[in-house]
Amino acid sequence: MNEHTLSAVGTTSDAHADYPLGSSDLEHRRLMLQARILRPSTDRFLRLGGLRPGMSVLDLGSGMGDVSMLAAEIVGPRGRVLGIDRDPVTTDKARRRAWHEGLDTNVEFEVTELDDFDTAERFDAVVGRYVLPYQKDHAATLRRFARFLRPGGILAFHEFDFLVQNPTWPPCPLWDDSYQRLTKVYEATGTPPDFGRRLYRTFLDAGLPGPTVECQGPVGTGSDSPLFPWLAYSLRVLEPALAKAGLSLPEGLVADDTLPDQLEKAVLEQNSQILATLQYGAWTRVP
Ligand SMILES: C[S@@+](CC[C@H](N)C(=O)[O-])C[C@H]1O[C@@H](n2cnc3c(N)ncnc32)[C@H](O)[C@@H]1O
């Protein structure tokens, strides 16, 4: 069994009804793999946003804890991070990972719906990655969490944009068609697949100062790209949402443990270069 095998698909806790990615062992592994791909962008966005040693940080939708742990590295031992997420299984795993990394003295996690979270504490920064698009009212969520900031506090978010058409060249139709399934299933579940490009307007709609926005586009080349297992895991965890939307995998792909290898083979046959999901960072300070 190598890192790319997909045998651990079993669901470990009930998914929230309108959250397409669910909560399974495979989704937890997918989040950790994705975090490795996204870390350089998130690190850059948080630092440009103004995160500094000694700050207190609230991380929305903390998942497996990767953004909370990254923020904890930036704010250091004099700072502190609180990650919040509604999924108790994921949050328990995040706690254990932080303990393993020796970060448990300044990182805590709380299980809560974003809408139910409350505290008298005021933070230096509220951050989040891949969480705003899943909220029913994006601007209202931002507005609500800006209230937990001290004056001059920072809001910094990292979000995706999947709407890159034909991301391979030379064209690899199997990859492009598979990638477009992500767009289609997100549209079908009411989650904007292009949320990154909506960040500036969402901040304004929340009554916040217009954020600085930056975009990066990771590129995959050659064998062993983490994009192969990333797309395969994503398609697998989205299988129930795909089925509900009446969608299936592109013809020629089999949804089994070899899916990363099937995608890799098709891309390598063309020696294609892959443009991955666009990564947007947006940050601002409240008055
Ligand atoms: C795509 S994951 C991203 C996790 C993490 N931020 C990262 O980048 O690795 C989104 C996370 O947000 C959580 N989430 C989404 N909507 C939420 C809500 N309304 N309340 C609490 N947690 C939520 C999910 O449970 C999931 O763990």
Cα separation, 30 vs 35, whole angstroms: 8
pTM: predicted TM-score of the whole model, two decimal places:
0.94
Ligand 1 atom closest to the Cα of residue 31 is 9
Collapse the DSSP code of 35 into the 3-class scheme (helix H, G, I; strand E, B; otherwise coil) and give the result: helix
- Give 182's Cβ-side CA count (13 Å radius): 25
| Ligand 1 in reach of 131 Cβ (< 6 A) | yes
User: Where along the chain do its domains lie?
Assistant: 25-285
| Ligand 1 in reach of 158 Cβ (< 6 A) | no
Taking the centre of ligand 1 as the mean of its atom positions, its distance from the CA of residue 65, in whole angstroms, is: 10
Cα separation, 130 vs 136, whole angstroms: 14
| Ligand 1 in reach of 31 Cβ (< 6 A) | yes
Beta strands in the chain (DSSP E): 56-60, 80-85, 107-111, 123-129, 149-161, 168-169, 212-216, 219-220, 273-275, 278-285
Ligand 1 atom closest to the Cα of residue 64 is 9
pLDDT tens digits, the chain, 287 residues: what are they? 334 433 333 333 344 557 888 889 999 999 999 999 999 999 999 999 999 999 999 999 999 999 999 999 999 999 999 999 999 999 999 999 999 999 889 999 999 999 999 999 999 999 999 999 999 999 999 999 999 999 999 999 999 999 887 899 999 999 999 999 999 999 999 999 999 999 999 999 999 999 999 999 999 999 989 999 999 999 999 999 999 999 999 999 999 999 999 999 999 999 999 999 999 999 999 99
pLDDT reported for residue 40: 97
| Ligand 1 in reach of 61 Cβ (< 6 A) | yes
| Ligand 1 in reach of 134 Cβ (< 6 A) | yes
Cα separation, 72 vs 18, whole angstroms: 30
Ligand 1 atom closest to the Cα of residue 35 is 9
Ligand 1 pocket mutation, candidates 41, 58, 86, criterion most atoms within 8 A of CB? 86
- Extract the tokens encoding 218: 């990771």
pLDDT reported for residue 8: 34
- Extract the tokens encoding 204: 């304004």
- Give 267's Cβ-side CA count (13 Å radius): 30
Strand duo 107-111 + 123-129: pairing: unpaired
pLDDT reported for residue 16: 59
Q: Which amino acid is at 175?
A: W
Ligand 1 atom closest to the Cα of residue 85 is 22
**C-alpha closest to that of 142 among 98, 94, 207, 82:** 207
Supply the residue whose CA is at minimum distance from atom 8 of ligand 1. Answer: 129
Q: Which fold has domain 25-285?
A: Rossmann fold (3.40.50)
Q: Which amino acid is at 63?
A: G
- Extract the tokens encoding 251: 């013809």
Ligand 1 atom closest to the Cα of residue 34 is 9
